A and B are shown apart, each in its own frame.
Chain A
């Protein structure tokens, strides 16, 4: 019998809230984090973490060497460790069974670009060697491990927009195999001038500065950033610590379209397959899914592909399943968004209410989205994440009863 894996802590920082309670309030208030950027100045619209003050959680020491992605990862891991009662702050050395599985897409793009730029403009022998470690893609996970004494597995997972869901599954498997005792799993992404400029040049960001998942007049994404990490443990370990876990990590599915690395395959074969696999791995059928947390972010092709995949798996059942597309609230946070969506799914299950989709007016595809919270009764929530690199993932979370 495979050990069950449960959620025992949450760390989150996003444009709609920092900390589990604040994030939950923001998400259920129907607010959006989309607005004027502090990072890029006049006229830029983002869903970035604003007024980010990592010292509020981490104290003032040792922050100087951390870039934005490392700070975000250190803050969310701090919250999740404390929330789960597994902080190693007072331990002489950390528990070797405690680790971190961190999804990301661009990792340290700003640090690597700056490091190269310094070499180009000031000469390669004058760059600060202390900045070199920040250029590797696993630098946020490495910094978080040092800061929080995480001595177990320390993986970074890059699977495009599906990174966060892949990371949660990877962590759950490590726990089932008995290779770790407790793992922080999720994602982190920083918004930086290079990614902001790059997405604009690609034409992937919304010219109107709004994010309207599934809407007929959707015109692209608004970039966000942040980090969400869930503390995962086996149910037996959690109970042994005196906890009564409520949320379980269920089945996972993944499929690649093998079509293009830069365009959605609107035939939706991979997306459909990923959802079917996740249900099958959870030993449930479409009728059991009580709520869907969608990864839709206002992409013309991406939202179309997702709507087709959902329709082909759920058929007419889809008319009655509440759907929430929370990126309307926290933006397209790239490698962090799968984990932020998973957290939205966890909250939905616990409250038995789908969060509002911020600013929702109408869907082109007849999905049951709403600008209001939607109550439901059920045990299973499906979270999906599909990327234009062709990678697709879906994850089920369920109530432990």
Chain B
């Protein structure tokens, strides 16, 4: 099996696009959360959203046309282009049949469904345009990336909801380490959608004022959008071309709670098994892990259960391992979230600084770990677990490590 390096980071998020701006703002504790602007939120009891502002897809599309694809695909192509540029690779030097795409999403292109219903309501079913359907199935997102960049290798979407980014990076890692691909663009993308908003609003899960993961007074999550794409390639190939290596992918673990469609297992059963499997596959133990990128949505249940899971698996060591949630700044970018968090983990390993959980004020007796409150911290992490949990009881943990040349 080959070792797998992360050599390019591209992303577009509610706090900014591109590796440098994202990292600068993330470490400064910037917030991308504001009043929803892409639809009228006055019909909802809550109004916060984490949208990507001022996004101009024409800046990123060379081959595809923005009007011929949904916003999820546009965001994904933007992240992919930034990732390729960041990595310095020359796509022309790769066998295109061995360069592929692996993406994750929660909803794919939900705005096409919104448009379908808007037309249906205004003009009736027969007025539905013929181009509604072909751009809806979520496989179009990786396919658009393949078309945009001329990639002929494996191409797949893993729509495992809010854990999808980790699943997709994991699949890309598998293809590289087994030698089935030489280059993988792996990540996640989701577009802001009134459907998602309506759902979380009706579940009473959206925070009314702030996103405060792990705080005693936390009141919920904030739906968001974005995309991240990581460049994965064999470590030896990356070294041979003198590439900047941000981090190494050591392994990942996945599991299912098999308990409830929306509520986590109360004892964190699946979350514990996903972390254990990730560590086992990475040949690491809890004693090696020195930072956890939390799923940390900010809902009372998620944060309590994730704390229980980490406490159960790590035992006494749990309190010594810093664990922060960047969703406090970015909101919950759905299927993109764990891919964006994987970018943050890669940068933490590369720069030695871990991002904070902002809006943290009051300790919750049920959440008693080190959540890196409010200030980014220099800790020089060596091994990181990136947690992601999802509807359907899905859990995925990715294990990344610092690479020393």
CB distance from B204 to the nearest CB of A (A): 8
Across the interface, which residues of A come within 8 angstroms of B203, CB to CB? 129, 132
Q: Give the Cβ gap from B132 to chain A, nearest Cβ, in Å.
A: 6
A373 at the interface (CB under 8 A from B): no
In the complex, what residue of chain B is closest to A262 when comparing beta carbons?
A: B134
Of the candidate stretches B8-16, B242-250, B253-261, B303-311, the one touching chain A is B253-261
Contact of B136 among A109, A159, A260, A391 (CB under 8 A): A109
Within 8 A of B (CB), among A191-249: 194-195, 197-199, 201-203
Distance in Å from the Cβ of A220 to the closest Cβ of chain B? 14
Measured between beta carbons, the chain B residues less than 8 angstroms from A33 are: none
Question: For chain A residues 33-63, which have a beta carbon within 8 Å of chain B?
Answer: none
Residues of B within 8 A of A197 (CB): 125, 128
Q: Which residues of B contact A127 (CB under 8 A)?
A: 198, 202
Identify B261's interface contact among A121, A143, A173, A388, CB under 8 A: A143
Q: Shortest CB–CB separation between residue A34 and chain B, in angstroms?
A: 21
Complex Cα–Cα for A386 and B45 (A): 46
Q: Assess whether B43 is interfacial by the CB under 8 Å rule.
A: yes
Of B133, B136, B178, the most chain A CB neighbours within 10 A belong to B133
> How far is B151's CA from A273's CA once the two chains are assembled, in angstroms?
13
**Chain B residues in 8 Å Cβ range of A125:** 43-45, 201-202
B121 within 8 A of A: yes
Residue of A nearest to B252 (CB): A179
| B393→A145 contact, CB < 8 A | yes
B147→A121 contact, CB < 8 A: no
Contact A116 B117 (CB under 8 A): yes
By a CB distance below 8 angstroms, the chain A residues around B393 are 142, 145-146, 154
CB proximity of A26 to chain B, nearest CB, Å: 28
Q: Select from chain A the residue with minimum beta-carbon distance to B177.
A: A177
> Once the chains bind, are A261 and B143 in contact (CB under 8 Å)?
yes
A106 on the interface (CB 8 Å rule)? yes
Measured CA separation A131–B259 after assembly (Å): 17
Chain A residues with Cβ below 8 Å from B194 are 116, 119, 124
Asked if B391 CB lies within 8 Å of chain A CBs, one says: yes
- Complex: how many Å from CA A125 to CA B200? 11
Instruction: Select B161's contact among A105, A138, A150, A199, beta carbons within 8 Å.
Output: A138
Which residue of A112, A119, A160 contacts B110 across the interface (Cβ within 8 Å)? A112
Q: When chains A and B are docked, how far (Å) is the Cα of A107 from the Cα of B69?
A: 19
A152 within 8 A of B: yes
Shortest Cβ gap from A51 to chain B (Å): 26
| Interface 1/0 per residue, B88-110 and A, CB below 8 Å | 00000000110011000111101
Query: Quick one: which of A96, A160, A273 contacts B139, CB cutoff 8 A?
Result: A160
Which residues of chain A have C-beta atoms less than 8 A from B100's C-beta?
A: 256
Question: Contacts A132-B262, A149-B258: A389 and B137 contacting too (C-beta < 8 A)?
Answer: yes
Whether A105 contacts B110 by the Cβ 8 Å rule is no
Contact between A258 and B137 (Cβ–Cβ < 8 Å)? no
**Contact residues in B for A257 (Cβ distance below 8 Å):** 152
Interface of A is mostly: mixed
Q: Say whether A259 faces chain B, with CB atoms less than 8 Å apart.
A: yes
How many residues of chain A have a CB within 8 Å of chain B? 77
By beta carbon, the residue of chain B nearest A178 is B281
Q: Are A112 and B107 in contact (CB under 8 A)?
A: yes
Task: Please give, as numbers and ranges, the residues of chain A lying within 8 Å of B259 by CB-CB distance.
Answer: 146
Query: Does A398 sit at the interface, judged by CB under 8 A?
Result: no
Partner of A112, one of B105, B120, B133, B195: B195
**Interface residue from A96, A150, A159, A260 paired with B155 (Cβ < 8 Å):** A159
A32 at interface by CB-CB < 8 Å: no
A124 to chain B minimum Cβ distance, whole angstroms, is 4
Q: Within B267-282, which residues are at the interface with A (CB < 8 Å)?
A: 269-270, 273, 277, 281
Quick one: closest B residue to A140, CB to CB?
B392
A391 to nearest B CB, angstroms? 5
B183 at the interface (CB under 8 A from A): no
Interface check A371, CB cutoff 8 A? no
Interface centre among B69, B199, B258 (most CB of A within 10 A): B258
Q: Main secondary structure on chain B at its contact with chain A?
A: mixed
Residues on A with C-beta less than 8 A from B260 are 146
Interface residues of A in 131-168 (CB under 8 A from B): 132-133, 135-139, 141-143, 145-146, 149-160, 163, 166
A138–B159 touching, CB < 8 Å: yes
Q: Are A138 and B394 in contact (CB under 8 A)?
A: yes
B44 shortest CB reach to chain A, Å: 6
Using an 8 Å CB-CB cutoff, how does the interface string of B112-139 with A read, 1 for contact, 0 for none? Answer: 0110111011000100111111111111
**Residue in B100, B120, B144, B199 whose Cβ sees the most chain A Cβ within 10 Å:** B199
Q: Which residues of B contact A124 (CB under 8 A)?
A: 43-44, 194, 198, 201-202
CB < 8 Å neighbour of A389 from B121, B143, B167, B257: B143
Contact across chains for A258 and B152 when beta carbons are under 8 A apart: yes
In the bound complex, residues from chain A placing their C-beta under 8 Å from that of B262 are: 132-133
**Bound complex: CA A156 to CA B125 (Å):** 30
Contact with A along B197-235 (1 / 0, CB 8 A): 011111100000000000000000000000000000000
Minimum Cβ distance to chain A for residue B283 (Å): 13
Q: How far is the CA of A159 from the CA of B136 in the complex (A)?
A: 13
Q: How far is the CA of A387 from the CA of B143 in the complex (A)?
A: 11
Q: Is B266's beta carbon under 8 Å from chain A?
A: no
Tell me if B107 and A256 are in contact (CB < 8 A). Answer: no
Q: Is A113 on the interface with B (CB-CB < 8 A)?
A: yes
A interface footprint on B151-195 (CB within 8 Å = 1, 0 otherwise): 111111111110000010001001000100000000000000011
A338 within 8 A of partner (CB): no
Given A138-B159, A160-B143: A255 and B153 interface contact (C-beta under 8 Å)? yes
Whether A159 touches B157, Cβ cut-off 8 Å, given contacts A129-B202, A146-B261, is yes
Interface check A170, CB cutoff 8 A: yes
Which residues of chain A are near B201, meaning CB under 8 Å? 124-125
Do the beta carbons of A112 and B113 come within 8 Å of each other?
yes
A-B contact sample (4 more), CB < 8 A, given A115-B198, A138-B394, A159-B139: A121-B121, A138-B392, A261-B140, A389-B137
Cross-chain pairs A/B with CB under 8 angstroms, 20 sampled: A109-B113, A128-B202, A133-B392, A136-B391, A137-B161, A151-B273, A153-B256, A160-B143, A177-B174, A195-B133, A199-B133, A254-B153, A254-B155, A255-B97, A255-B153, A256-B146, A261-B135, A261-B140, A390-B146, A390-B155
B residues engaging A (CB < 8 A)? 43-45, 69, 96-97, 100-101, 105-108, 110, 113-114, 116-118, 120-121, 125, 128-140, 143-144, 146-147, 149-161, 167, 171, 174, 178, 194-195, 198-203, 253-262, 269-270, 273, 277, 281, 390-394
Nearest 8 CB-CB pairings of A with B: A142-B392, A198-B133, A132-B199, A137-B159, A154-B256, A133-B261, A129-B202, A201-B130
